[in-house]
Amino acid sequence: MGMLDHLWLGVQAVFLADPAFTVLGVGIPITILMILFGFLLGIVVGATPGLAGPMAMAISLPILISIFGFNDDAFLPVLGCLIGIMKGATVGGAVPAILFNTPGTPDAYMTALDGFPMAERGEARKALRVAHFSSASGDTFSDIVLVVCAPFLAILVEAYLDLPEKTGLLILSLAFIASVIGGSVGKGIISMGLGLLAAMIATGEDFYPRLTMGNQALAEGIPIAAAVLGVLILGEVFRSLEDLRRNRGSGASATHSASEGSGRLGWPLIKGLSPIIARSAMIGTAIGALPGVGSTLAATIGYTSAKARAQRRGEAPLGSGVPEGIAATEAANSSVSGANLIPVLSLGIPGNAAAVFLILAMDSIGGFNPGPAVFRLEGGVEGEGVNLELVLAFGLFVSMFVANALNWTIGGVFMRTVGIMARVPKERLLPIVLLLTLTAIYVQETALVAVWITIAFGFLGYFMRRVGMSPLPFVIAFILGGNLEATARQAFAATGADPFFLINSPIALTFILLAIAIVTYNLWKTK
């Protein structure tokens, strides 16, 4: 079967699967329903300060798996819901930043610089429409690049990289992530090292569990969901609860004047914003394709680029309440989400927290191993074999475009109705998040020891944040640790037990030298 045949099967898997229910005799596919549910949930989460898309994805994943199970039929509904949450939270994050000057993420802070002054002038509806149009445009562009580039990159990797080269590529990716995240190369490397150490517990090919210190609870290894949710979610909840305790009574509520007019975007405004949106979308896509570089950097560079453009043209400066600032930020941070799946699907390397939970879902359900083999045509172009992973990959692409269609049609309307969520106090939200996370872990693992492991990793994530150490290198290293060890063992065996297999391969040696150069450069830049 050829590529187009797999594409058609992917479309059928989304639109012609067993319907959840029928309306007037028309079946509603379960995948479409889950994308819609996830998208609406993502907007609500994004519009609520203190919550974030990855947090909702983390809580939803174990619950979704417990509902749909671990078979192939669960893949697209579960991943569709997570993708909907990811995209909805991205566009919804502009709501509290514009209406109440309470950005929930660093990149939403850039949106607030111009969005909140517009809201104070009574242009809140216009600001929200600009944010929605820019976010949807950047997201759509990024998804198109994903569909084009991910198969191409995977084919190149499969054609030119063998086991030693793939080992070197994993090392390069980890070095890059550790160097660029967290502001300190040393802390990033320590975080990565802790993740690799945790991944080595009770794994490998030995006849006895290693690094368990005789603890029977660790004999089967650390549950990946417990470690990831503990470090990423509970660690943030613990830190936020302590910050609330310290700052009790010091918060101030922001208000703005009533919104005037319909806020519709006329063609002259859209035409003027289009170059800014296009530039920011390309910036965000390029940054998102790099493992470990998230939307904050994309939003910062997109905003800075638009600010320099306004200065050159003698236009109103960004930060004074102009639509160009909102457009530049929202287009840049939204275009990261699609591009970040390029290394996920083609290399199996997650780049941000949202991609981590997509990888976690793929690993939990099984039947889909992200990497170069996903885009391989079994039996050749003339053969009759079907690559189920390729069908699921195309189904995933279709799901992303369905989420984009929802964003263009109902996203703007729904995001303007959830502004009230920005008034929900964190004191009520965070305990709910804590309880839901622990419940989700127990639902998936059905063992109380998994809950204690999650809490332990939650305290680890808390201390990492308190010392200024990003937990993301830890999580990505924990996820990639098993793959790195397995690939290195296979490369060692395939080269006849050559201990210098990374040096004897020119491409692998190049990856190792690049990893050393990246770490050295970032250390030098910090000094």
Position 287 scores a pLDDT of: 82
In tens, the pLDDT along 85-132 reads 988 888 888 888 888 777 666 667 778 888 888 888 888 888 888 888
pLDDT at 272: 84
Nearest to residue 176, comparing CAs of 188, 164, 167? 188
Which residue matches tokens 């190369």? 185
Buried b (16+ CB within 10 A) or exposed e, 106-140: ebbbbbbbbbbbbbeeebbbbbbbbbbbbbbbbbb
Count Cβ atoms below 10 Å from residue 61 Cβ, excluding itself. 26
Dihedral of alpha carbons 483, 489, 495, 498, sign:
positive
Q: 217-262: per-residue pLDDT in tens?
A: 777 788 888 888 889 888 888 988 888 888 765 444 444 444 455 5
Mean pLDDT of 168-178: 86
- Render 38-86 in DSSP notation, one character per residue: HHHHHHHHHTSTT--HHHHHHHHHHHHHHHH-SSGGGHHHHHHHHHHHH
Residue 316: DSSP 8-state: P
Tell me: pLDDT of 479 over 80.
yes
Residue 392 has pLDDT above 80, yes or no: yes
Q: What value does the mean pLDDT of the chain take? A: 82
pLDDT at 381 over 50: no
Residue 52 has pLDDT above 80, yes or no: no
Percent of the chain exceeding pLDDT 90 equals 11
86-90, 270-274, 460-464: which is most confident: 460-464
Question: In sequence order, what are the beta bridge partners of 21?
Answer: 28
469 close to 189: Cβ distance less than 8 angstroms? no
Q: Is the pLDDT of residue 463 over 90?
A: yes
Alpha-carbon distance of 288 to 334, in angstroms, equals 10
Q: How far is CA 13 from CA 36, 39, 399, in A?
A: 16, 19, 10
Q: What pLDDT, on the 0 to 100 scale, is given for residue 38?
A: 93
Instruction: Read off the pLDDT of residues 14-29 as tens digits, 9 standing for 90 and up.
Output: 888 777 777 777 778 8
pLDDT: which is higher, 487 or 296: 487
| Model confidence at 383: pLDDT above 60 | no
Q: How confident is the model at residue 205 (pLDDT cuts 50, 70, 90)?
A: low
CB 15 within 8 A of CB 77: no
Average pLDDT estimate for 70-82: 86
Q: Are 223 and 450 in contact (CB under 8 A)?
A: yes
Contacts of 32 (CB under 8 A, 6+ apart): 14, 15, 80, 402
What pLDDT band is residue 422 in, cutting at 50, 70 and 90? low
Query: Where would I find the H helices in 205-266?
Result: 224-229, 235-246
Global pTM? 0.81
* Encoded amino acid at 480, one letter: L
Which tens digit of pLDDT belongs to each residue from 339-376?
888 888 887 787 677 788 888 888 878 778 887 878 87
Question: How does pLDDT run across 500-526, given as a tens digit for each residue?
Answer: 888 888 989 999 999 999 888 888 876
What's the CA gap between 301 and 444, in Å, rounded?
40
